[in-house]
Structure 1
Amino acid sequence: MVELKTDHEIDAMREAGRVVARALAAVRASARVGSSLLDLDRTARAVLREAGTSSPFLGYRPSFAPVPFPAVVCASVNDAIVHGVPDGYRLRDGDLVSVDCGARLRGWAGDAAVSFTVGTARPADLRLIGTAEAALTAGIEQARPGRRIGDIAHAIGRVVRSAGYGIPDGFGGHGIGRSMHEDPGVPNEGPAGRGMRLRAGMVLAIEPMVIAGGTDDYRTDGDGWTLRTVDGSRAAHAEHTVAITADGPRILTAL
């Protein structure tokens, strides 16, 4: 069931989204060669704590997970696509890092992700990250009343496939509101003009995931959470929480 949010509720979600944006900015600013993934998680925790928010990630346990998620961010490095569990790994020069973060404030959730490089960037990584961001922008542009979920999916998929990259099969965005994951699902590829019609008041987390090697296959790490490319190629992830309004898409997780 899809819950349509009022303007007041979307404003409340914007406040949660601002906290997510600040957390991601702080993590990105603190990430340097030698930083551990646990350091990144501690940075995000500090931002959430200062804002008086809770984390929808911490303790989250979907049906596939062997244990509850132990952190407030997913930190995925190099060949990790999404859901990376922060640990003692220390960042190295040239690493590609994707960080996903959520916040819950006064009953409303926000969710966003950003990818960046540490130290000396590889041109191929910058192109990969740029494609994920371009796909996100293309998907957001379709988030308008009267269009369909398939229009978002098609816009994302067209950008990614045109660049020669892969899309992890079966993973995409989702509705968001009082819970982090709500209906509807938002695929990262599909035919335009199909699927649920978009209405003002819907709020979606739109999140392209891009695999450099061109394959759509992935494997799950032994931790039961981290998804990795099967060919060892790098991956990037970009995400915003977006409200569909009569005036067009409203990004709730921008700074």
Structure 2
Amino acid sequence: EYLDICEKVEGEIVQRGGRVAFPTGVGVNSVTAHYAPQAGESGKVGEKDVVKVDFGVHVDGYVADTSITTTYNPQYQPMLEATERALRAAIDVLRRDRRIGEVSKAIYSAASRYGFKTISNLSGHTLDRYVVHAGKSIPNVYMPNLPTLKKGEVFAVEPFLTTREAEGYVVDSDIETIFALVGRRRIGNGELDALVEMIWGERKTLPFTPRWFLKDYREARLLSLLKELAKKKVIRSYATLVEASGKPVAQFEHTMALDEEEGLVILT
């Protein structure tokens, strides 16, 4: 079951001495990002599914973000292999060139060479303390005039590939399972303020999912309070993203750093 995958990954992170940086995402087929199964869900992985698992660890707010894709469907195995090759191509470029445009070009070229499309509106990203998506983006298509990565920066590179006949971009669905505090702000409503303080104490501004707070709230009440906080712009929500034409998507990701002495260091 999707939920079992999340709970096992998150439990392993805690057992190894880390903390969960964001809700573990399970993206099946065209579901591409920002889907975290909720308590009571019974969705199961099918024999022909393409399954992405996106997870992150933080220690004292310093985040590492990684993802893998798996399938038992031989039809899509070449897409997974091409996605891994695109990530390796990006790493090869980063060992000698820190221009983001060149990294994006390597990802796009590798995907095209093997007969696949990159998802044009999803990108890798820099990371900062308690921030999963910091200032710089690393697109999966070439764009001119992109900045250069600097020594000391930590960043995630994450190619997303889909089939050649797909639209090649993602759209918002009407499902929202991931949220994050915009900031710590009192509203003047005791129940809402107590929830903000609980989220701040557990997560600061890192993303969370409602199932993590069900020991303290009934689910219906919690979702109602989160809706109120979103209206007041105290929290933001992340819509589940799906490939526009319903085609399956593969993803592989590593977090890396540019170290003064060692150069490129792969952290995941």
2:77 to 126, 140, 158: 126
* Equivalent residues in 2 for 1:64-143, closer than 5 Å: 72-86=23-37, 87-117=41-71, 121-143=72-94
Whole-angstrom CA distance in 2 between matches of 1:90 and 1:205 = 28
What is the alpha-carbon distance in structure 2 between the residues aligned to residue 143 and residue 162 of structure 1? 20
Q: 1:141: Cα distance to partner?
A: 1.6
Identical-residue share of aligned pairs (%): 27
Deviations 1:59-104 (A, max 9, x none): xxxxxxxxxxxxx210001121222232420112122100000111
The structure 1 residue matched to 2:20, chosen from 42, 55, 58, is: 55
Task: Supply the distance in 2 between the matched residues of 1:168 and 1:37 (Cα, whole angstroms).
Answer: 23
Distance 2:82 2:158 in 1: 12
Q: Which runs of 5+ in 1 are unaligned?
A: 1-35, 58-71
Report what 1:41 is aligned to: 6
Pick closer, same or farther for the CA change 1:123–1:183 going to 2, 3 Å.
Answer: same
Deviates more, 1:160-169 or 1:201-210: 160-169
Q: What is the DSSP-based 3-state SS (H/G/I as helix, E as strand, rest coil) of the residue aligned with 1:223? A: strand
For residue 147 of structure 2, what is the aligned residue in structure 1? 196
Question: Could you say what the CA RMSD is over the residues aligned between the two structures, in angstroms?
Answer: 1.9
Give TM-score, length-normalised by structure 2. Answer: 0.69
Runs (4 or more) in structure 1 with deviation over 4 Å come to none
Which residue is equivalent to 1:186? 138
Which has more strand, going by share of residues? 2
Amino acid at match of 1:252: L
CA contact (8 A) 2:47 2:73 kept: no
CA shift, 1:214, in A, is 3.7
Q: Which runs of 5+ in 2 are unaligned?
A: 177-238
3-state secondary structure, aligned to 1:154 = helix
Q: Residue by residue, what CA displacement relative to the aligned partner does 1:204-227 show, whole Å, maximum 9, x if unpaired?
A: 100011112342233322204322
Please say if residues 56 and 102 of structure 1, whose CA atoms lie closer than 8 Å, have aligned partners that are also in contact: yes
Shift of 1:156: 0.5
Are the counterparts in 2 of residues 77 and 84 from structure 1 also a CA contact under 8 Å? no
Q: Secondary structure at the match of 1:94?
A: coil
